[in-house]
Structure 1
Amino acid sequence: MSKPAPQTPDSPLAARLRAVEGGLTKSEAMIAQWLMLNEAGLPLETGASIAAKTGVSEITVSRFLRRLGFRGMTELKAEIGSPAALHIHATDRYIRLLEGELGTLLKRDADAILGLGAQIARPEWAEAIATIDAADEVFVTGFQTVRGLAEDFARRLSIVRGSVRYISAHDAGLAEWVPSQRRAGEARALVLVDMVPYAREAEVIVRTARRLGIGVVVITDELNTWAQAHTPFVFHAATKVGAFLESTGPLATLLNLVTHAVAGCDPDKARRRISTWPSVLRDLGLY
């Protein structure tokens, strides 16, 4: 069993936040959590930028700072110190964390995520994003342990563009792909999330999609060797970091990058969808 990393004492700001955490409003709790997680970067922030990043008003941020005992951002920054000092403190915590087994796994996961840069730098990346953006309808699928990732990606992608749906060959038998005269001529795309243990089923799905003229993008692990034979749009994330199970973190990050890139194809349209979405949900009272 690995030795736990030494406990890092609270910073002065963290101590103030913990002192009031029991009686915070929802907005105040959001600000408090954001301040706690982003203390190292606070010297570069303003009240307006914090408000924008937490989704509250600038007045709410100012009132919360006063509740903590600060008359404004200037006093807050004076207490927490310089950016250089904060960087040293954060680096010290990082080094101590890496001494343990979990720290080693965290570093490997971080390295795997940074390694995604080589994937999105490929010329096929822009072509794949254009394929998804241009499609009149986008299908998403994944199997067993990565099904949850695929479903989450489908929901998030549907926020920034229309006509996205998750499909399961086991549930509907790919009835969604039966040609429709009403939608003849429309472009369709499939995003497949795959890990090698499920390759046999995944390859059949991809082969079927290509036969039906559906463009295919595959988001997969580092052991996938079959997908390239069916589509040039194959992007790999390292998942073997030495944990008991494969790490899905890099795959999730890669899917987040796909969502962001698709939204970036028409940012004004994506922003309109995002701003309209709450009005659709209003009667449900979820937020």
Structure 2
Amino acid sequence: MSEGFASFPQGPLGDFVGKIEQALPKLPKQEAKVAQYILLNVQSIGPETGKSLAARIGVSEITVGRLLRRLGYDGTKHLKELLREHYAMGGAPVAPSADIDSKMSQVMEAELSIIRSVFQQTGNTHWEVARHLISKSKRVYVTGFQSVRGLAEDFTRRLSIARAHTQYLSPHDGMLGEWLDRESPGISEECLLIVDVVPYATEGQELARIAKQQGRSLIVVSDEFCHWSAEIADACLYAPSNSGLYLESTIGLNVTLGLLVDYAANATPEKARKRLASWKKNARRLKLF
């Protein structure tokens, strides 16, 4: 599902989407159907004609044209031009690997190997369990300590767009106030995801034990040095970190977390599309983009 931050419409296409959103509450019913379809499928309607678009939505071709003219556009031809302009790809060609010095070339190969390792693991049992938990749990808590807290917080925000009931958990700040109702019947449907690296193993282990003792499922996303997760977690996802950099690489953790967001979105694609459309609408109203 490639409909996230990088696809956020800006420029002329963004103006077009903004006009649709502003007009939507006041549109006639049939034109509103067209507008809503375009908002939810703006990335995939490039090949459509006015006729094919009307057939998909279940309205007349005249209705499609009427909506576009109401918004100040000359039919689907004008819309295609906006999409072509927005999604055109350009830029300078990638430099050949021969231009990279030997040390950086070794680091690059190590980083690529890390990514490859993550993808090679996605067919194992732990990934199957993680996919199920990240998409089916009633609530997902996410946490990470110190240098990986930022990764955990970013993942929480992204996951909250893909699915409902996602919450960052800060044990230090809140002292687990969120978990005081230990007898809640819904605890067995909750999941904790911990992003862990070696220096914070003690904290992660204790929090993991509390989560399991209270009845929650547990996913641990960690580097290759994590020695404890296999004994406690329902799913252990490993992302190698030793690539020769001054500090350990986090690219594997990022890839792993990105895949989990994608799995959550694809578990309920229609809901995820609607959530993303609502997120974009709110972002525009707040003038964030």
Please, what TM-score do these two structures have when normalized by structure 2?
A: 0.68
Q: Identity percentage over the alignment?
A: 31
Deviation at 1:245, TM superposition (A): 0.1
Structure 2: how far apart are the matches of 1:217 and 1:63?
42
**4+ residue stretches of structure 1 with deviation over 6 A?**
none
CA deviation profile, 1:17-50 (whole Å, cap 9, x unmatched): xxxxxxxxx638x9xxxxxxxxxxxxxxxx948x
- CA, structure 1 residues 232+184, in 2 after alignment: closer, same or farther (shift >3 Å)? closer
Deviation at 1:63, TM superposition (A): 6.1
2:186 corresponds in structure 1 to: 185
Give runs of aligned pairs for residues 159-198 of structure 1, distance below 5 A: 159-179=161-181, 184-186=185-187, 187-198=189-200
Deviation at 1:197, TM superposition (A): 1.1
Deviation at 1:223, TM superposition (A): 0.7
Bigger relative contact order, structure 1 or 2, given CA contacts below 8 A and separation 6+? 2
2:82 corresponds in structure 1 to: 60
Contact conserved, 2:129 with 2:234, CA < 8 A, in 1?
A: no
2:27 is aligned with 1:27: no
2:218 corresponds in structure 1 to: 216
Deviation at 1:286, TM superposition (A): 1.6
- Counterpart code for 1:225: H
Deviation at 1:97, TM superposition (A): 4.0
1:245 corresponds in structure 2 to: 247
Structure 1: how far apart are the matches of 2:220 and 2:86?
46
Contact conserved, 2:239 with 2:252, CA < 8 A, in 1?
A: yes
Give runs of aligned pairs for residues 134-173 of structure 1, distance below 5 A: 134-173=136-175
1:110 corresponds in structure 2 to: 112
- Counterpart code for 1:162: A
Structure 2: how far apart are the matches of 1:233 and 1:190?
11
Structure 2: how far apart are the matches of 1:62 and 1:131?
39
Among 269, 273, 276, the alignment partner of 2:275 is 273
Contact conserved, 2:134 with 2:260, CA < 8 A, in 1?
A: no
Structure 2: how far apart are the matches of 1:231 and 1:178?
21
Deviation at 1:279, TM superposition (A): 2.9
CA deviation profile, 1:204-252 (whole Å, cap 9, x unmatched): 0101100011100000000111110002400101101111100111110
Structure 2: how far apart are the matches of 1:172 and 1:64?
44
2:262 is aligned with 1:260: yes
Gaps of 5+ in 2: 1-9, 15-44, 48-77
1:38 corresponds in structure 2 to: none
- CA, structure 1 residues 179+63, in 2 after alignment: closer, same or farther (shift >3 Å)? closer
1:36 corresponds in structure 2 to: none
Deviation at 1:265, TM superposition (A): 1.1
2:227 is aligned with 1:225: yes
Deviation at 1:157, TM superposition (A): 0.1
- Counterpart code for 2:186: G
Deviation at 1:185, TM superposition (A): 2.7
2:238 is aligned with 1:236: yes
Contact conserved, 1:239 with 1:248, CA < 8 A, in 2?
A: yes
Contact conserved, 2:265 with 2:272, CA < 8 A, in 1?
A: yes
- CA, structure 1 residues 57+107, in 2 after alignment: closer, same or farther (shift >3 Å)? farther
- Counterpart code for 1:96: A
Contact conserved, 1:139 with 1:190, CA < 8 A, in 2?
A: yes
Contact conserved, 1:98 with 1:104, CA < 8 A, in 2?
A: no
Contact conserved, 1:138 with 1:191, CA < 8 A, in 2?
A: yes
Gaps of 5+ in 1: 1-25, 31-46, 50-55, 66-72, 81-85
Structure 2: how far apart are the matches of 1:64 and 1:118?
34
Please, what TM-score do these two structures have when normalized by structure 1?
A: 0.68
**What secondary structure, in the 3-state scheme, does the structure 2 residue paired with 1:149 have?**
helix
